[in-house]
Structure 1
């Protein structure tokens, strides 16, 4: 008697059985999708409403937030024009200062953090593990706790090197670089470990040194993490207030975060619509930088897993 080699058919996989299960499956799928869409819509509304309110307040010519209850009930560019009318509050200079400090801090953070991360990732030396742990422990204490020490240190440095002392952009950038070096070094260190060491070995066989490997190979393969570090560093610099307010005293050298506070510092003369207009303009560089680096952040992260 011949034996059939055909596999047994599972009753659940029979077309008739699948047809009977389709209505219940469709209901569960529809309910699941409806729940996901509801959560996504609610989250989007919560995130978008503050942005719409700030935009509405910046376009409100009444000079107070009381008339901004109705979104976009009145539209005027008067508040944006008032930002550049007062010589005592040079908004244009604050904007340029913020761009310079933010971009230089982001570039310095990527370079110094990348060099430190490459050393920890590719080189073996005594104290390597202790150094990594120390970086994490130091980051547990916010830079805000060291404001007094930073002020005294910068004052002493200014007596010797005035270009790096108080009320200088270079001194503020140096302080920002020191505060951002630890966490970004550890972040890039983890990404550098995903780059195969065989690439380094092949480059060394061709006569390449550590400097050439780092600048021509590692940095190009690590574009995603470099974009993330640059973006986070720029955002942190633009939003930082305490240290900038302590180190910068000249009105023309202040940053946007410190300068905009003057519009609402006095309760009797607080001008919230002008402050909202300044906040909208201050957010533009961050948004533009995000869109410029988006292809590295989104597309590069998926490609980085196979490099």
Structure 2
């Protein structure tokens, strides 16, 4: 028995028309204000609160009047006179201060990252006597403010200056060594939490191939923990370039001062006080920090949060 199929009964599949999404009901203004509007208001207020000091200092640096009260009207008069005065002042060598600050900041940040990474790797991967005591000691030491150690640091550096003047008082090398010792504890503990997020199976696989701790650390681990290294370098650079108390205690020669100490002289002297020139110097000093922050911003969020959860 044969089956007859009517060709007319077979219809070509029709292309389905894309369904239009159902329109969302319009949200009333009152409901929008209760659910989303207050967030926008808080965000705008925070942005204004954060940007106003920056805009005010920038306006003061461009104001040729030389006083902060004359800068209340933002950008009323614009001139580069303050920047010219800042760079041409022979009694206050701003270029030397800027160069000194960059040297101290770069060397301190690189040294802090390297030494902190070595210590964090040891605490994270090696098991040795005194490991837990060492970690607790790092936390306890950071509870005491660094300001309490200024007198002790000065006496210690004065004693070293009598034997090794190159690393004693009024030397950038001695200041760098002090910064390295002060920042090693907290940065080591910060990196220790990040190192624990790296699986130990990677180390075991490398050891099976004959790699030692040094090769594992320099060729494998450092590449995996790049975000926390960038965060520590940024925090160390910002902290050292803006530090005032220790640098003002150890440095005395005008040509060896850092920016924080040197710019303070524009507002601390009773005669010839010029806040506008101080503002110009502060604007120029902020450029390297902002540039470094923008360059490393992709690592900041991951580096600060990855080591928080184990």
TM over 0.5: yes
TM-score by length of 2: 0.88
Q: Deviations over 1:133-164 (max 9, x none)?
A: 11011001122111111111112222222211
Displacement of 1:29 after TM fit?
Answer: 5.0
Residue 299 of structure 1, CA deviation: 6.5
Partner of 1:157: 160
* Alpha-carbon offset, residue 270 of structure 1: 1.6
Find the counterpart in structure 1 of residue 15 from structure 2.
Answer: none
Identify the residue that residue 112 of structure 1 maps to in structure 2: 115
Aligned partners of 1:221 and 1:304 also within 8 Å? no
2-structure distance, mates of 1:301, 1:261: 32
Corresponding residue for 1:174?
A: 177
Deviation at 1:22, TM superposition (A): 4.9
Identify the range of structure 1 (25-34 vs 288-297) with the bigger mean alpha-carbon deviation. 25-34
Q: Are residues 24 and 278 of structure 1, via their aligned partners in 2, closer, same or farther at CA, if it must alter by over 3 Å?
A: closer
In the alignment, does 2:186 pair up with 1:183? Answer: yes
* Deviation larger for 293-302 or 77-86: 293-302
Give the direction of change, closer, same or farther, for the CA distance of 1:176–1:302 in structure 2 (3 Å limit).
Answer: closer
SS of equivalent residue, structure 2 residue 102: helix
Q: Which runs of 5+ in 1 are unaligned?
A: 1-17
| Cα-to-partner distance string for 1:255-295 (whole Å, 9 max, x where unaligned) | 00000011011244321000000000010110011111122
1:284 is matched with 287
Query: Taking structure 1 as the reference length, what is the TM-score of the superposition?
Result: 0.88
8 Å Cα contact 1:263-1:275 kept in structure 2 = yes
* Larger radius of gyration between Structure 1 and Structure 2: 2
Partner of 2:272: 269
Query: After superposition, what is the alpha-carbon deviation per residue over 1:25-84, rounded to whole angstroms, capped at 9, x for unaligned?
Result: 996455322111111000000000000000000000001111101000010000001111
Task: For residue 108 of structure 1, give the secondary structure of its aligned residue in structure 2.
Answer: helix
Equivalent residue for 1:56, pick from 50, 55, 59 = 59
Paired residue for 1:143, among 146, 153, 164?
146
Would you say how many aligned residue pairs link Structure 1 and Structure 2?
287
Q: Is residue 2:47 matched to residue 1:44?
A: yes
Separation in 2, partners of 1:27, 1:260: 51
RMSD: 2.2
Q: Does 1:229 align with 2:232?
A: yes
Q: Secondary structure at the match of 1:264?
A: helix
Determine if contact 2:142/2:186 at 8 Å carries over to the other structure.
yes
Which protein is richer in helix relative to its size? Answer: 1
- CA drift of 1:219 comes to 0.9
Residue 87 of structure 2: which of 74, 84, 87 is its match? 84
Closer/same/farther in 2, CA of residues 183 and 62 from structure 1, 3 Å limit: same
User: Within 2, Cα distance between the matches of 1:157 and 1:211?
Assistant: 33
